Amino acid sequence: MAMRWFSKSKLPICYSVFLRGLTTRPIRDISLPVKSTVAGFQPDSSQPLSGFRLYHDGRPRGPLWRSRKAIGKEALFVIQGLKRFKEDEEKLQKFMKCHVLRLLKLDMIAVLGELERQEEVALAVKVFRLIQKQEWYKPDVFLYKDLIVALARSKQMDEAMELWESMRKENLFPDSQTYTEVIRGFLKYGSPSDAMNIYEDMKKSPDPPDELPFRILLKGLLPHPLLRNRVKQDFEEIFPDQHVYDPPEEIFGLR
């Protein structure tokens, strides 16, 4: 009885009409608001959502990755070859003629900088001398600076002074860091007179001197009171607001 009543009723007709309306009317896309309607809150696409982490491709991040990308494959090959043949002068010169001379300007400078960073200063000097013979070479104080600082830190002061004289012949003055490292190198090398020569050259520089090389000299010249007094007088004239600490003389055996 119930089934017979349901088949005779009008409910199936209404249901079919309802389905027909759904199939004939297109479904419109619902546009979501781009900006949040909540005051004081805006989603940031650069920040990870709560409970999720951003994708990481496994490559190193930071200056290490950028520095390796800056050196080309051919430059890296040249660096490895120079280090491989550095004990054999004949093979080294042949390798430099065949491969180093083929490098472009930026690659050759990159090789120089990487050798300095790896403290291969002897190889760096050879590459620098080769750079000076190129047609595109122009005197650059920064090329000298990094190499002289590397030589001074490794206490190779004779080679550092050769580059220093070459730099001065090209009418280039180093910056305060270069003066500081060379003065420190000569003081560690046990040659205060050479340190004073660099100091006199620093006073002729067109750039105003910094305080650090003065203090390096004042500390390193403690066993040499006459030289130290000269530097102290200049320091007090140039930096009248700064104080110079004079330790007790008996500590250094000056009495």
Q: 58 in the Ramachandran plot: left (φ > 0), alpha (ψ -120 to 50) or beta?
A: left
Full DSSP string of 11-65: HHHHHHHHHHHHHHSPPPPPPPPSS-SSTT----TTSPPTT------S---SHHH
CA distance 122 to 131: 14
Please give the DSSP secondary-structure letter assigned to residue 102.
Answer: G
pLDDT tens digits, 39-80 = 544 545 444 444 444 444 443 443 333 344 467 888 999 999
CB atoms within 10 A of CB 249: 11
Structure tokens at 36: 């949040």
Number of H helices, E strands in the chain: 13, 0
Cα dist from 66 to 63, 74, 75, 115, whole Å: 5, 17, 15, 17
What is the distance between the alpha carbons of residues 82 and 120, in angstroms, rounded to a whole number? 10
Give the N- to C-terminal CA distance of the chain in Å, as an integer.
130
- Cα–Cα distance measured from residue 70 to residue 123, given in angstroms and rounded to the nearest whole number: 20
Tens-digit pLDDT string for the chain (255 aa): 544 544 455 455 544 544 455 555 554 544 445 454 545 445 454 444 444 444 444 434 433 333 444 678 889 999 999 999 999 999 999 999 999 999 999 999 999 999 999 989 999 999 999 999 999 999 888 899 889 988 888 888 889 889 999 998 898 888 888 899 899 989 988 888 899 999 998 988 888 889 999 999 999 998 888 899 999 999 999 998 888 877 766 455 444
Six token digits for residue 93: 């010169």
Tell me the pTM: 0.62
Radius of gyration of the chain (CA): 37
**Sign of the C-alpha dihedral, residues 226, 174, 101, 135?**
negative
